[in-house]
Amino acid sequence: MRPSDRPDPLLFNAHLDPLPSVPSPRRRGAAPRPQDAPDYRRYSLADYRQRRARHRTPWRDLCPAYAFALQTHARGWPRGPEAETDGELAAHWDLVRGDSRLDWDQARQVVEDAWQALDHLPAQATGMEAH
């Protein structure tokens, strides 16, 4: 794997929460929505902000799922019910999830949402070079 093929190490560091632990006072306008993000980094942060607010899921659990989604999307893993790769994805998740406490059933929704976001982003906005 070339260094340019790796996701942004600053974004995908599970030990460095990219958002403040205390929410800032309400600013004008709503927080950015994941579906409006112009690139994958901002998508991940906006999605994390929502998941942390709803479920209190910490960054160390979600970060590996965002990285996993980016890697599997870039490599063109088949997906969807007809793809019959859920078992392979689950096994691969178990190998790469690191310290994430999410099992595959929990991570799958994060990954699927991220895949949908990646489907709508231009290749340059993913932070990975096209192969």
Q: Check residue 11 and report its DSSP letter.
A: T
Ranges of the chain whose pLDDT falls below 50: 1-4, 22, 24-25, 28-29, 130-131
pLDDT computed for residue 33 by the predictor: 67
Provide φ and ψ at 102, rounded to 5°. -80, 130
Residue 108 burial by Cβ neighbours in a 10 Å radius (0-12, 13-18, 19+) = middle
- C-alpha to C-alpha distance for 50 and 56, rounded to whole angstroms: 9
H helices of 25-103, in order, are 40-55, 59-74, 86-96
Using a cut of 0.85, tell me whether the model's pTM lies above it.
Answer: no
Show the tokens assigned to 15: 């030990």
